[in-house]
């Protein structure tokens, strides 16, 4: 399977705390993207980081990419109860153009 | 932002029925579309990658005769689950993108229930 791995599988924090999720993948990529999914719903695109980029910010989100380690992290600062969702990383493969998802992290932010 | 429309959102049908799911990019030309299957509380599993005007590339273990994919235009791809059985019940999601290094945009998914 080409699916990436995410950790932790589940994360529970208090509102206002920061949440960090990690993603590892297996092959060379064009880019890596992070998504959120509320239960039973479609996916919402959060941020895209290209293979030649190391860090990107968008509002309360900070994404890093280390292509030498084939890993990425998503940091959500000052979390809110509305951030409760599943978060997935996904990689666009250089060879074949496939787009594979990680296993996901279930985030619960307690008010 | 870019919008991908997936239809229908929910299908309930009898075993043996064939079901077609449509995925449309509404405001951009999608050179590549992807079809995924998602089980409850699990991640998305890529079924196939579809480039406009060519045959879909199926992932290992996905039966191409069971899951027929057509990407006849730059704005439409269809997934047909042929002779569906209860084990095909799942959440199916499509996505589309225009070029490399552009975000994927996802449909809202189709919940398929085979009785």
B30 touching A, CB under 8 A? Answer: no
At residue B33, the pLDDT reads 92
Cβ–Cβ contact B93 with A under 8 A: yes
Residues on chain B touching A44 (C-beta within 8 angstroms):
106
Distance of CA B99 to the CA centre of its chain: 19
- Out of B41, B103, B106, name the one closest to residue A42 (CB): B106
Predicted pLDDT of residue A41:
80
Please give, rounded to a whole number of angstroms, the shortest distance from the CA of B53 to a CA of chain A: 16
Would you state the structure tokens that stand for residue A22, as one six-digit string? Answer: 């990690």
Task: Among A31, A42, A58, A87, pick the best mutation site for testing chain B contact (most B Cβ within 10 A).
Answer: A42
Instruction: Determine the pLDDT at residue B100.
Output: 73
* Band of pLDDT at residue A4, cut at 50, 70 and 90: confident
pLDDT > 90 fraction of chain B, expressed in percent and rounded = 70
Question: Token pair for residue A24?
Answer: 């590892």
Does residue B73 surpass a pLDDT of 90? no
Q: pLDDT for A31-68, tens place per residue?
A: 999 999 998 788 899 999 999 999 999 999 999 999 99
Interface residues of A toward B, Cβ cutoff 8 Å, are: 2-3, 30-31, 33, 35, 40-45, 48, 50, 88, 90, 92, 96-104, 106
Whether the predicted pLDDT of B101 surpasses 80: no
Q: From start to end of A15-104, where are the E strands?
A: 19-24, 29-37, 43-50, 55-58, 61-66, 71-76, 85-93, 99-101
CB contact (8 A) between residue A30 and residue B101 = yes
pLDDT score of A2: 61
What pLDDT is stored for residue A1 in this prediction?
54
Residues of chain A contacting B93 with CB distance shorter than 8 Å: 42-43
| pLDDT tens digits, one per residue of B4-54 | 999 999 999 999 999 999 999 998 888 889 999 998 888 999 999 988 878
Sheet of strand B67-73, all strands in order from the earlier edge strand to the far edge:
B4-7, B19-25, B76-81, B67-73
Residue B101 has its nearest CB partner, among A31, A35, A88, at: A31
At B104 the pLDDT is 85
Lowest mean pLDDT among A44-58, A67-81, B90-104: B90-104
């Amino acid at each position: 399977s080409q699916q990436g791995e995410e950790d932790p599988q589940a994360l529970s924090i208090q509102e206002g705390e920061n949440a960090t999720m990690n993603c590892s993948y297996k092959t060379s990529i064009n880019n890596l993207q992070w998504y959120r999914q509320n239960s039973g719903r479609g996916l919402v695109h959060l941020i895209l980081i290209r293979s030649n980029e190391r860090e990107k910010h968008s509002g309360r989100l900070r994404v890093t990419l280390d292509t030498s380690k084939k890993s990425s992290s998503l940091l959500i600062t000052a979390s809110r109860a509305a951030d409760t969702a599943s978060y997935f990383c996904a990689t666009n493969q250089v060879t074949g153009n496939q787009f594979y998802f990680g296993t996901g992290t279930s985030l619960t932010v307690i008010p | 932002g870019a919008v991908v429309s997936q239809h229908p959102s929910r299908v309930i049908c009898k075993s043996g029925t064939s079901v077609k799911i449509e995925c449309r990019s509404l405001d951009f030309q999608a050179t590549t579309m992807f079809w995924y299957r998602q089980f409850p509380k699990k991640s998305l599993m890529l079924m196939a990658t579809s480039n406009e005007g060519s045959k879909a590339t199926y992932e290992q273990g996905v039966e191409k005769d069971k899951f027929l994919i057509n990407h006849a235009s730059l704005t439409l791809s269809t997934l047909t689950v042929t002779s569906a059985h209860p084990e095909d019940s799942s959440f199916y999601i499509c996505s589309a993108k225009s070029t490399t290094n552009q975000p994927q945009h996802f449909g809202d998914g189709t919940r398929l229930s085979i009785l």
